[in-house]
Every structure is written in C-alpha cells, then in structure tokens.
Amino acid sequence: MSGTLVVNEVYLSLQGESTFAGLPCVFVRLTACNLRCSYCDTAYAFTEGTRREISEVRAEIERLARTYAPPGNVAGFPVVPDLGTPARHRLPLVEFTGGEPLLQPRAAALMRDLCDAGFTVLVETSGAHDIGVLDPRVRRIMDLKAPSSGEDGRNRWANLPLLRGTDEVKFVLGTWEDYAWMRQVLAEHSLATICPVLVSWVAPLEPHQRDPSLKPVPEGHRPITRRELADRIIEDRLPVRFQLQMHKYVWSPDARGV
C-alpha cells in the first residue's frame, strides 16, 4: 500500500473504553486535530508526529499482533465471540485515534486493508467529519461534543443517519449543562435505538496537559462530579453505558503509550 501518514505513536495496550473495554488493542494515534476541546488530554498529538510509509505502519501493527497467534491455529489468529452476534473478532483489536484520524484521508485505506486481513478495526472520531468515507466493517466510535467542550458547534449532525448498530456514540460530560444537553439529544434522535451510547465523565487534566490552545469552558457552567453523573443516569433511567477511562486507573492518568 503506497502513501504516507503522520503518526504520533503505535503501541499495544488494553482498550480502556467502549463496549470493547478490557480487550488487547493496537492503537494507531495519528497526528493533528482541528478541534480544541476544553478537556483534551492528548494535545501532544496536535503537532507531534512522524511521516511514515503506510506499509511501515501496517508492518508494525502486524508485528505487535503476531504474538497473539498461537501455534497450531489454522486461521493464524485467536478469535473471541462478539456478545449478542455470531461475529468473531481477531485479537488484538486495532484502533485509530488521534488527534483526529479522519483528517488524513489515506487512513481509511489502511483501515480497509486491516479489515481485509481479519482485524476488528475501531476508529475514535470527533464527529466533526464525514464518517461515511469509512469501510462499513470499521466500527466507528463517534463523539457528539457537548457544550462544555467549547466545540459543540462543530458536530456534524449529518452523520447521525449514517450510524449502524456496530457503531457507538460517545458523550463526554463535565457539567450539568452538558448532561441536560445530552438528555435532549438522546431523546430527539432516539440514539439508543440505533447503537450503543457511551457516557464518559471529564477527568481533570494535569497542569502540564492544559495546552493553551484548548477552548475554555463556557461561563455559567456548573461542574458535575463523577458520582453525580452516575447517580443521575440511574435516577433518569437512561439507556446508556456509563464508562470510565480504564487505562487511567491502571497507569498514570497522563501516561502515553497505554
């Protein structure tokens, strides 16, 4: 496969979020993002990265995945059942994240190539770009940016009709105003009937993570605690999956490569 991508890092870890949380995953973090969410904890990926041949990136993914192929497995890789469906997944998973992966058009071709190779491919995207460019086998985890992010005006609402049952929508909430907004969007678009809906709490940033380019939280917003968010989801009987960023509890909250 020809062409290049600007890559921040490629590493093997455990999936820390989504319905795939806990499973081994190769992460491909691409450089650049056109949003500046107030809570972004990967601002280092805005500009840090190296231009690499796509074939080289693909080879590194395969190298990291090769240790999961047990001797005697005719298929060449272990598989696990996907709960609720007859589908099976190659391990490790492969997730494209960023930054914003959809800013680099050639990434879609690599994702398709990895699907052809039997990988389960996930992509974390901000929701500000057309998700329809991706192979239908790619599992899209799409943010809808809440008001406290400072980037809610960038949501691409035309993406909602493109969502499938294998996709996931994620809300990252830091204030009571975010929660009220999320409830309204959830109801207006019947999101829980389309695909899994993930709700995350905004984890506080370390001082060195606060990039000066990040948007401020709008004035008048009232912070919501993790416990308050969980309690309110239960009280309101919302059909969503509350999640924590598992990797931040296993490793340091600001650790890279995990």
Query: What is the pTM assigned to this prediction?
Result: 0.92
Q: Is residue 237 part of a domain?
A: yes
Q: Where does the pLDDT of residue 252 fall: very low under 50, low under 70, confident under 90, or very high at 90 and above?
A: confident
Q: Is residue 136 part of a domain?
A: yes
pLDDT tens digits, residue range 164-213?
999 999 999 999 999 999 999 999 999 999 999 999 999 888 888 889 99
Q: State the pLDDT at residue 74.
A: 37
Q: State the pLDDT at residue 248.
A: 83
Pairwise CA distance, residues 200 & 230, whole Å: 10
pLDDT tens digits, residue range 226-238?
999 999 999 999 9
252 or 163, higher pLDDT: 163
Pairwise CA distance, residues 216 & 38, whole Å: 6
Q: Is residue 72 part of a domain?
A: yes
Quote the domain boundaries for residue 199.
Answer: 4-250
Q: Is residue 56 part of a domain?
A: yes
pLDDT tens digits, residue range 55-84?
999 999 999 999 886 544 434 455 555 544
Q: Is residue 218 part of a domain?
A: yes
The two three-digit tokens of residue 190, written as one number? 């019947």
pLDDT tens digits, residue range 77-111?
555 555 444 346 778 999 999 999 999 999 999 99
Assign 3-state DSSP to the chain and report helix, strand, coil percentages, each to 5: 30, 25, 45
Q: Is residue 257 part of a domain?
A: no
| Rounded alpha-carbon distances, angstroms, from residue 69 to 80, 81, 130, 182, 199 | 13, 16, 35, 42, 34
Q: State the pLDDT at residue 71.
A: 45
The two three-digit tokens of residue 251, written as one number? 């490793």
The two three-digit tokens of residue 173, written as one number? 């909430």
Q: Is residue 255 part of a domain?
A: no
pLDDT of 240 above 60: yes
Residue 135's CATH number: 3.20.20.70
CA neighbor of 115 nearest in space, from 94, 100, 101, 130: 94
What is the number of structural domains in the chain? Answer: 1
pLDDT tens digits, residue range 128-167?
999 999 999 999 999 999 999 999 999 999 999 999 999 9
Q: Is residue 231 part of a domain?
A: yes
Is-contact 54 111, C-beta < 8 A? no
